[in-house]
Structure 1
């Protein structure tokens, strides 16, 4: 069978998606997994990781993604063709969805329509949301070789295998720091002061300068602060689940209260420039890459985007966001599994879909992808040295304490949906100078308590 390579660029609106399901329902129902019944005629072999390769598997699978870097790598390296060298009778249709926001909206609609793709990605905070629609991958070789998969198991089941290990960094320009006379901060108060000094120094000549680039027009780029800082405050990677057990988690003295008070102080100090709500993430990253900003907080994946927007990274450095109050406090650093690949229960070809997952994390594909991206490996059998730019953060924080982040379980998600608590949107609101954070805390506490009562969560 000649290798087939299909790529769908999906930027559909909700309305178009709803109507398109009528036309594609027939093709989904026609999918069949053809597996020989006579084991003597089954063409099998063993791959380098010890998994069994059944070359007689026949299927047509859909693989949905949102990641631009992964999509580029798939296009440039003929993923489908390479996969079909081992599985010549399985065709993979790659569906590229515009971004993660549209991705989750799309998957929600398809859940109701019984039309999830055969293979999908999840985040830490969506695993529990889709747990009823994901196949247990505990018995796969890929899961056993993954450093983080078992740590994110739900009810004892591995429902997704992290593609990479994600770390969060503050990227900065060393030459801009040096000229302004500031050094890498190691506490939160130092971080604020450094940002203020940089803003005052450079905005005299550049009114568009941002000490910290953050494209709040998209709302989500504030996630290093709004999503992770409550967990960093006390080193509790389960902080969202802890909140689900509390009636008033936004009260003074709680981790989220302390973290968001710090963020509010930072966001209203002028260090985000004159109009952070007027820029999206791509614009903010470009601004930083051209040294129109001194710092930007992004995951390790951000390095690739920065390198793509500038020719010279010789002065580019990183440090971990210093949320601690004093140098005697633990230097907590977030680590999390990112992009959990899973097989859905809507697939008519789960054996073939599992075969693709095994192949993806095998020597046939994963090491080359890992070398292409700046993210850290999640696989024990494929270790990877960090890029020198990212490794600097480890050198600057030899005493760091890793906090394994969990995106929140069922109870938290249910309360969050009932109260419409959106931490990323809340961060965008904080950039407005007259925003009353304490008033918002009171509203959230009241709504949170009522939601727990109405949902019967104890």
Structure 2
């Protein structure tokens, strides 16, 4: 096996590392009808002819290109000889691994290569780019990788699974159990209870400590309100595609719509005093540090936030988590945001789709995936290879056995175009709720007007 630099046309400033095997190259002219090479004979949607046997591992041959921007993944596949391990099972398939500098350059490169009919065999997508490249990706619904993935079907487009997410990410509400106990409050399970618990905590501890925050949220940075402003409309509706739905509506912020309901809930919470005396004067690092020393009782962050809290806390024995309860009653579904990440797909430009599909199946098998998922901090997306959560994070699942996972999509091209045209920034809007003279009703009415005009100007239906 040898390593060389792969020169790839039509990319901006691409750094490529290539791992070459010693197999024979062959071309398969099948394109978007390709499926897994392990399908039953007689399936006319597969790459093989009806009634023929699937090719064996030795019979599959050719070169497949694997394009990534993820530095951690690139480091892991180099250190653990991904190509060599794959070729022990598929000796006649060569793999070229292209490392692109970052995700921005990656999307620029993929856009140009799509137009030039030169996409790599294997590419990665985010939830919001699957629709952008939907015409260039094969349907992976019938693969074992899809069958065993807990998120893939939730991101299907027009009934087709176009990518298998490598990891899943959850959002948590971190809290101090001892502070809850002393104040006489329990973990909330509805939005009304959440507001009430926060108010009681603020009243109980705030009377002696004017700097206390029931809920720590560093709105000086604006983005830390994302668990509320970004995710709650999807939680309210139970629709992870809420931003894309909004792109089809002229008045998505109108009274009665899910984003209107969610933002009214948030406004009520944010303006109730539970964020402390100066929520706009503190950034995320500051409030996380204050939470770590129990100057706040609650903070909402992703799984990545746990390490930051640990770094600032002397003792985490009383640290717990629960999922943000946005439902109105206990009879409503307990919706919980989950995000798939790094969706591996096979492109219609692949000249060796059977080989590419074999690689996808191998990547998500016990030959490779368990070691990869244990290397990264993210949660497993595969039901057959579960990864134990940190005990503190696992408490959320113990408290919410009936949770309903909402597969979050960050919004496609149409939403982004309208968002840019209207300058709608949900994170900034959350911070503005704390400013003097802010009027939520008027703000949402104005956004509806801008939204309608933007859709007309951009000719988005």
State the TM-score, normalized to the length of structure 1: 0.73
Higher helix share: 1
* CA distance 1:346–1:198, change in 2 (3 Å): farther
Give the alignment partner of residue 394 of structure 1, picking from 374, 394, 397. 397
Residues 59-74 of structure 1 correspond to what in structure 2 (within 5 A)?
61-65=66-70, 71=72
Q: Tell me if structure 2 keeps the 8 A contact 1:174–1:317.
A: yes
Matched, 1:258 2:248: no
Q: Which residue of 1 aligns with 2:33?
A: none
Q: Which residue of 1 aligns with 2:226?
A: 223
* CA distance 1:268–1:3, change in 2 (3 Å): farther
Give the alignment partner of residue 336 of structure 2, picking from 326, 333, 339. 333
- Alpha-carbon shift at residue 319 of structure 1 (Å): 1.5
Q: Tell me if structure 1 keeps the 8 A contact 2:148–2:384.
A: yes
Deviations 1:22-61 (A, max 9, x none): 6659x799x999843499xxxxxx99xx997679755775
Q: Provide the C-alpha distance between the structure 1 equivalents of 2:153 and 2:87, rounded to a whole number of angstroms.
A: 28
Helix, strand or coil: the match of 1:233?
Answer: helix
Q: Tell me if structure 1 keeps the 8 A contact 2:215–2:274.
A: yes
Q: Which residue of 1 aligns with 2:373?
A: 370
Deviations 1:89-108 (A, max 9, x none): 646465574xxxxx4x4445
Q: Provide the C-alpha distance between the structure 2 equivalents of 1:33 and 1:441, rounded to a whole number of angstroms.
A: 61
- Alpha-carbon shift at residue 323 of structure 1 (Å): 1.5
Q: Which residue of 1 aligns with 2:153?
A: 150
Q: What RMSD over aligned residues (CA atoms) do the two structures have, in Å?
A: 4.5
* CA distance 1:303–1:129, change in 2 (3 Å): farther
Matched, 1:110 2:109: yes
Matched, 1:450 2:449: no
- Alpha-carbon shift at residue 78 of structure 1 (Å): 5.2
Matched, 1:36 2:25: yes
Larger radius of gyration: 2
Q: Which residue of 2 aligns with 1:317?
A: 320
Deviations 1:315-350 (A, max 9, x none): 121112122233444433334433423456799998
- Alpha-carbon shift at residue 261 of structure 1 (Å): 1.0
Matched, 1:181 2:184: yes
State the TM-score, normalized to the length of structure 2: 0.73
* CA distance 1:56–1:453, change in 2 (3 Å): closer
Q: Which residue of 2 aligns with 1:11?
A: none
Unaligned runs of 5+ in 2: 29-36, 39-53, 89-93
Q: Provide the C-alpha distance between the structure 2 equivalents of 1:346 and 1:373, rounded to a whole number of angstroms.
A: 30
| Deviating more after overlay: 306-315 vs 176-185 | 306-315
Deviations 1:215-273 (A, max 9, x none): 44554432221222122224344433443443222122221111101112222334334
Matched, 1:129 2:132: yes
Helix, strand or coil: the match of 1:288?
Answer: helix
Q: Which residue of 1 aligns with 2:86?
A: 86
Unaligned runs of 5+ in 1: 6-19, 40-45, 98-102
Q: Provide the C-alpha distance between the structure 2 equivalents of 1:162 and 1:113, rounded to a whole number of angstroms.
A: 24
Q: Provide the C-alpha distance between the structure 2 equivalents of 1:76 and 1:32, rounded to a whole number of angstroms.
A: 18
* CA distance 1:244–1:179, change in 2 (3 Å): same
Q: Provide the C-alpha distance between the structure 2 equivalents of 1:38 and 1:94, rounded to a whole number of angstroms.
A: 24
Helix, strand or coil: the match of 2:69?
Answer: strand
Helix, strand or coil: the match of 1:452?
Answer: helix
| Deviating more after overlay: 54-63 vs 160-169 | 54-63
- Alpha-carbon shift at residue 438 of structure 1 (Å): 1.8
Deviations 1:87-141 (A, max 9, x none): 48646465574xxxxx4x4445435554988765433233223445655545654
Deviations 1:257-303 (A, max 9, x none): 11101112222334334554555545544443443432222334544
- Alpha-carbon shift at residue 64 of structure 1 (Å): 0.9
Q: Provide the C-alpha distance between the structure 2 equivalents of 1:216 and 1:210, rounded to a whole number of angstroms.
A: 13
